């Protein structure tokens, strides 16, 4: 448990951050910000203002062509910065999950781990390779240890169990079914006698949905200060709330029989990329980073728009996914349905879109 006044991460851990690359933030701007954050942490100074005042540009189209990796993926950068910002919050520092990292703090080079510049002449190519191999082994060991300790963390223990072909149940520790889910012929979720269906958001609905949930998640970075959304609805509300964005054609809604949505979800966890997300009315959202090298040592974490951890998921076997809900979270219908919907993402993260496992 993190003691009040103790940093959750230090400067060297920030220097070791490695982000996936695709369409995203300008890499040089992010690296510069992280260097400044690391220096402030080393000096024992707060970093919240530095993070909230940051403006991160997108990677230019020219640089995306030159560097095939593109920029740093938005949700990865936003999630890490939102967690770093929480270090200055006394309540967050007393969080019983404060020492459970949700993100992959990966060794960039042996020099970085020692707090020296990565280009230090004292570290040749051979040392660099050795350091990276050792870092990968250390990371796999840390992930395996986290899985072994999974059941000891505080919170409510649940499990998503496979009960048949295309059928799952979200169970309490006493084996009481909170949700019954079906994936064929359509994705439906039964909870307390009510049925909710997952269906794609049609193009004609996009503006109204964007006004309700605050637009596509990447247009609302977690590291920036939050402002109350304009209360207008429809197309005007979407424009006022900055919600007119490139349409997310993967967006789906989970709604009851009357058509009232509980949540919206888009993206996918696949190819070792945690692209799936959940959005709720009121500009709230969850993203789901995964730490692990394989299904045997992976933990997925539900992280909210403020950087707080909501739940953690671990694969038990082919028929069970273990879930621990943060002790500060109430098991509302919204959260229970979210857990049932997202739990299997920790498995699909390791699937290949090319058809391999």
At 263-305, the pLDDT tens digits run: 999 888 998 888 898 999 877 889 898 888 899 999 999 998 8
104 and 73: one domain?
yes
189 and 139: one domain?
no
pLDDT at 104: 60
Query: 331 in a domain, yes or no?
Result: yes
Judge whether residue 57 has pLDDT over 80.
Answer: yes
pLDDT at 298: 94
| CATH number for 262 | 3.20.90
The parent domain of residue 219 ranges over: 154-348
pLDDT at 62: 57
Q: Which of 48-57, 239-248, 332-341, 344-353 has the highest mean pLDDT?
A: 332-341
Contacts of 119 (CB under 8 A, 6+ apart): 111
CA distance 318 to 190: 22
Query: 357 in a domain, yes or no?
Result: no
Higher pLDDT, 102 or 158: 158
Judge whether residue 1 has pLDDT over 50.
Answer: no
Query: 124 in a domain, yes or no?
Result: yes
Model confidence at 17, pLDDT cuts 50, 70, 90, reads confident
pLDDT at 63: 55
Mean pLDDT of 131-141: 74
186 and 144: one domain?
no
Higher pLDDT, 204 or 156: 156
Query: 144 in a domain, yes or no?
Result: yes
191 and 284: one domain?
yes
Instruction: State the Rg of the chain over Cα.
Output: 21
DSSP 3-state of 227: coil
104, 123, 151: which is the final residue of a domain?
151
CA distance 335 to 8: 26
222 and 131: one domain?
no
- Mean residue pLDDT of the chain comes to 78
Query: 206 in a domain, yes or no?
Result: yes
The answer to whether 85 and 48 have CB atoms below 8 angstroms apart is: yes
Judge whether residue 123 has pLDDT over 70.
Answer: no
Q: 27-42 vs 74-85: helix axis angle to the nearest 10? A: 20
Q: How many domains does the chain have?
A: 2
Mean pLDDT of 138-155: 89
Higher pLDDT, 264 or 207: 264
Judge whether residue 342 has pLDDT over 80.
Answer: yes
Higher pLDDT, 260 or 9: 260
203 and 297: one domain?
yes
Mean pLDDT of 99-103: 75
190 and 325: one domain?
yes
117 and 45: one domain?
yes
67 and 83: one domain?
yes
94 and 167: one domain?
no
Query: 356 in a domain, yes or no?
Result: no
96, 123, 151: which is the final residue of a domain?
151
The answer to whether 219 and 242 have CB atoms below 8 angstroms apart is: yes
Query: 3 in a domain, yes or no?
Result: no
Contacts of 73 (CB under 8 A, 6+ apart): 19, 20, 21, 22, 23, 24, 273
132 and 186: one domain?
no
195 phi and psi angles, rounded to 5 deg: -110, 135
Neighbours of 278 (CB within 10 A): 25
- Single out the residue of 33, 68, 37 nearest to residue 54, CA to CA: 33
Query: 126 in a domain, yes or no?
Result: yes
Mean pLDDT of 47-70: 74
pLDDT digits (tens, 9 = 90+) for 299-315: 999 998 878 899 999 99
151, 182, 201: which is the final residue of a domain?
151
169 and 135: one domain?
no
pLDDT at 66: 55
Element (H, E) at 213: helix 206-213
CA distance 26 to 74: 10
């Amino acid at each position: 448990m993190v003691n009040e006044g103790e940093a959750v991460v230090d400067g060297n851990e920030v220097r070791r951050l490695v982000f996936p690359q695709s369409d995203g933030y300008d890499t040089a701007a992010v690296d510069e910000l992280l260097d400044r954050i690391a220096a402030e942490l080393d000096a024992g100074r707060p970093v919240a203002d530095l993070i909230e005042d940051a403006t991160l540009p997108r990677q230019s189209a020219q640089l995306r062509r030159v560097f095939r990796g593109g920029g740093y993926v938005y949700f990865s950068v936003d999630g890490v910065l939102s967690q770093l910002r929480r270090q200055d919050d006394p309540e967050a520092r007393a969080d019983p999950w404060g020492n459970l990292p949700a993100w992959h703090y990966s060794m960039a080079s042996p020099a970085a781990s020692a707090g020296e510049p990565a280009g230090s002449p004292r570290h040749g190519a051979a040392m660099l390779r050795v350091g990276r191999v050792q870092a990968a082994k250390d990371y796999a060991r840390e992930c395996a240890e986290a899985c072994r300790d999974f059941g000891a963390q505080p919170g409510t223990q649940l499990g998503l169990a496979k009960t048949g072909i295309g059928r799952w149940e979200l169970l309490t520790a006493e084996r009481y079914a909170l949700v019954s889910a079906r994936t064929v012929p359509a994705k439906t979720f039964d909870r307390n006698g009510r049925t909710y269906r997952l269906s794609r958001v049609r193009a004609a609905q996009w503006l109204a949905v964007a006004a309700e949930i605050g637009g596509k998640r990447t247009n609302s970075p977690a590291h920036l200060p939050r402002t109350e959304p304009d209360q207008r609805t429809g197309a005007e509300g979407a424009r006022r709330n900055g919600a007119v964005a490139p349409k997310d054609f993967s967006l789906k809604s989970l709604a009851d029989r009357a058509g009232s949505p509980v949540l919206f979800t888009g993206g996918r966890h696949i190819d070792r990329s945690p692209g799936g997300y959940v959005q709720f009315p009121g500009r709230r959202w969850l993203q789901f980073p995964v730490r692990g090298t394989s299904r045997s040592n992976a933990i997925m974490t539900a992280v909210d728009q403020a950087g707080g951890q909501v739940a953690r998921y671990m694969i038990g076997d082919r028929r069970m996914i273990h879930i621990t809900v943060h002790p500060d979270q109430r098991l509302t219908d919204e959260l229970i349905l979210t857990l049932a919907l997202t739990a299997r993402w920790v498995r699909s993260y390791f699937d290949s879109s090319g058809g391999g496992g």
